[in-house]
Amino acid sequence: MSPELAAPLLAIETHPLQTTIVAIFAVVYLGMFLGGLPKLKLDRSGVALLGGIAVVGIGAMTTEEAARAVHLPTLLLLFAFMVVSAQMRLGGFYTEVTRRVAALPLAEPWLLGALIFVAGALSAVFSNDIVCLAMTPVVARLCIERRLDPVIFLVGLACAANIGSAATLIGNPQNMLIGSVLQLHFADYLWRALPPVVLGLLALWAWLVFAPRRPTQPPPAAPATEALPEFDRLQTAKGLAVAAMLLVVFLFTDWPREVAALVGAGVLLLSRRFHSSHVMGFVDWELLVLFVGLFVVNHAFESTGLATIAVAWLADHGIQLGDTGPLFAVGVGLSNLVSNVPATMLLLPHLKTADAGVTLALVSTLAGNLLLVGSIANLIVVDLARKQGIAIDWHQHLRIGLPVTMLTLAITWGWLS
């Protein structure tokens, strides 16, 4: 190893503070892998927050440095679109769309196709997690009432939401982060990502319809009673108008996305129908805390020089992290070890080109379909299905998620290569 690369390692060995930073980083990412820490009532957000507190507490960073480590445009964009999605949920938009699709007089394969493409399209604009949260109860009731295979429809919903969210830079949190940090052009990304996403949705539908199936448990005899939001035309129209205007701004202007989105969120908060505290009750504050904690912990780890050593070592062995092949392999592996948001935050500082950003956005999102724990959207669907009396375990998810992930990644590889 060259003296330049050996110096950071020597510093870590001789400096207790550096060693402590590495230990905190390791514990935080162990928490990302496990979903928490053993014997403690902590989820990923709690682990990330405590990691950030620990970094500041040991004096590795001042509070001012910690604040500068947080990428504020990404947080503002996330918050603003959470407000937009809250408006659509409170207006009953997602539920009404799903009900109308479910009411179509279609045979099972075509009904499945309609739900897949509706979920994919909505996720591209309003976030995959929100779409799964709103659509799952209605799809579960559809399966129960029509005696359809609930595993096929519900896992298909989760996979479709993940795939569809890869189409835009606002479809999921990791895409928002990549777009903000690398300053990717919204329209350019859309035109590059849309073909593999559409083909991926088609591949998902074809696999679910034509692949051999194993028998699953029959749906319950009667759906669980759960109140769903009533459809409010006026409030839905207001939310759709703001979302449409934001898409126009993103596609055709250079106005900073986070500023435009905040203005849109502000317009929606000016309401005589929905109290602002009610709207902001739907904001995923835990996800925002996760981002803040990981920004601080990752920045502290970057200061040790270990990440630079790892990237330089790979480059010395002919592996350039920004190239499509290595980024595919590392992106899929990390996304399923620590989930796609932490994986993106680890890899992003070492990517410099728009091409690498597009690759990471697609790969980290599509990899979320592989395992049940690979995406929050998967867990949302399983949890809400359980409340309707439908059990989906990781084996059942894997039988669909594994081939779908391989198919969609192969399509993306062929498109980008």
- Domain residue ranges in the chain: 3-416
Distance CA 77, CA 88 (A): 17
Q: Note whether 153 and 109 are within 8 A (CB).
A: no
DSSP E strand stretches across 27-137: none
User: Any idea what DSSP says for residue 404?
Assistant: H
- Residue where the block lists tokens 């559409």: 198
Distance CA 125, CA 144 (A): 29
Distance CA 208, CA 258 (A): 37
Q: For each of the chain's 417 residues, which pLDDT tens digit applies?
A: 555 555 555 555 557 788 899 999 999 889 888 888 888 888 889 999 999 999 999 998 999 999 999 999 999 999 999 999 889 888 888 888 988 988 888 889 999 999 999 999 999 998 888 889 888 988 988 888 888 888 999 999 999 999 999 999 999 989 999 999 999 999 999 999 999 999 999 999 999 998 877 666 566 666 556 667 788 889 899 999 999 999 999 999 889 999 999 999 999 998 888 888 888 888 888 889 988 999 999 889 888 888 778 777 777 777 777 777 888 888 888 888 888 888 888 888 888 889 999 999 999 999 989 988 778 888 889 888 888 888 888 888 899 999 999 999 999 999 987
CA distances from 316 to 303, 319, 331, 358 (A): 21, 7, 20, 25
Give the torsion through C-alpha atoms of 117, 123, 126, 129, to 10 deg: 130
- Residues 387-405 as b or e (16 or more Cβ within 10 Å = b): ebbbebeeebbebbbebbb
**SS3 assignment, position 36:** coil
| Residues found in the chain | 417
Q: In the prediction, which pLDDT does 217 show?
A: 59
Q: Note whether 395 and 372 are within 8 A (CB).
A: no
Q: In the prediction, which pLDDT does 410 show?
A: 95
**SS3 assignment, position 169:** coil
Other C-beta atoms within 10 Å of 269: how many?
15
Query: Would you list the DSSP string of 297-331?
Result: HHHHHHTTTHHHHHHHHHHHTT--TTSHHHHHHHH
- The whole-angstrom distance between residue 74's C-alpha and the CA centroid of its chain comes to 13
CA distances from 395 to 204, 209, 214, 400 (A): 18, 19, 11, 9
Tokens of 157: 């919903």
CA distances from 118 to 24, 86, 124, 165 (A): 42, 19, 10, 12
Distance CA 154, CA 64 (A): 45
Tokens of 341: 């948001």
Tokens of 13: 């060995």
Q: In the prediction, which pLDDT does 321 show?
A: 76
Residues 6+ apart with CB under 8 A from 357: 178, 179, 182, 184, 351
